[in-house]
Structure 1
């Protein structure tokens, strides 16, 4: 259609430039390769319109899932997540959020505690069952033996800031393929 396009980062991002000042990101994964776009994203999307064209919009649950991993020096999406909860928390499918994030429940717990700090009068937007589940998991950590492997999961949220841990300090990291 004559628009300029570019693959900004082959791991996850492309851009379409409409005019000098307007562009659209096409996100098909996350840098950490955790939130790969698949058919379930379309199944959970909702119909809308963009510039007069019918489109399917990303569900709030998938948006939440992707943004929770954006925690680096240059960009931190915690406020975006808090705003998502304050605006849509009563309509979020929290079971779906939990399905995506149970494997990295600590990130979800940290975000929900941040939300409670920022919006104490809105804490009821987060289901009680979910906070109970997270608190139980946190307590269980102290009943488990301490891992013997020197593992650093930091690269899942910031590949740059935790590079020294893996490169020089001999920490092991994981990828989603190794889980």
Structure 2
């Protein structure tokens, strides 16, 4: 858990009915014994103090716990929907309601699976009259760093998290989380020094040197010949021409990534411009 205190997020802008819905879902999951973490805008506010309006509540849980959670929620009268089996489900306040909560157990690219470490390093804050655990800053950075879509880029969130929490981050653990995707982390750390030139020293020197050494070592070794495009881990749309027309292997697909062809097809079909018209 971070050494610096977390800032409890404000719920002042929530409609009373929405707040009641959120509160009851949290209570149901607690009573059912399903471990969950609050993420998204609420967790971001806890770590940075930056609050923004959000259309829903993001809860992170293990994939193995989803069915138990869904049964309990349906028994309470809520509607659940497994939107994308590899990473996201939703629970709606009612049959016709547009109010929903996201139940998240991975990322859209299949990289950031919710596992025990998410819970082991979680913080805790009051929310809607309850004590809840919130996503660790390392996992927030890990998941946000890959979001580089045309319509959404989370680089500013990454920079704000780094500025607010640099002294609390377990950098060894963060490096382990990124693993073979260390270039994605390095790119954000380098960009941080551009965004906040007066605070670039917040990025630990040993981390920058370690990643610089990795880059230098790569330059001294032959490049792989697999013709893989890992841009699909950053954007589900912008690199489709590479895998569909240019003959590149999709970096999301086993054995390069963690997703199946079927999961990718479903996720690709959900791109607004690609949805089939009735």
Common fold by TM > 0.5 = yes
Aligned to 1:148: 225
- C-alpha distance after superposition, 1:134-173 (max 9, x if no partner): 1111111210112223221111111211111111100113
Gaps of at least 5 residues in structure 1 are: none
Distance 1:90 1:21, change over 3 A: farther
Conserved 8 A contact 2:230-2:252: no
For the aligned residue pairs, the C-alpha RMSD in angstroms reads 2.0
CA distance in 1, matches of 2:253, 2:136: 22
CA distance in 1, matches of 2:186, 2:253: 20
Aligned to 1:113: 190
Conserved 8 A contact 1:34-1:176: no
Gaps of at least 5 residues in structure 2 are: 1-75, 257-278
Aligned to 2:210: 133
Conserved 8 A contact 1:152-1:166: yes
Q: 1:6 aligns with which of 81, 85, 105?
A: 81
Aligned to 1:161: 238
User: 1:82-93 alignment to 2 at 5 Å?
Assistant: 82-93=159-170
CA distance in 2, matches of 1:69, 1:165: 18
Structure number with larger C-alpha Rg: 2
CA distance in 2, matches of 1:54, 1:102: 32
Cα deviation, residue 8, structure 1? 3.5
How many pairs does the alignment contain? 179
CA distance in 2, matches of 1:105, 1:35: 14
Distance 1:130 1:51, change over 3 A: same
CA distance in 2, matches of 1:176, 1:96: 25
Aligned to 2:247: 170
Conserved 8 A contact 1:33-1:176: no
CA distance in 1, matches of 2:206, 2:100: 40
CA distance in 2, matches of 1:149, 1:10: 28
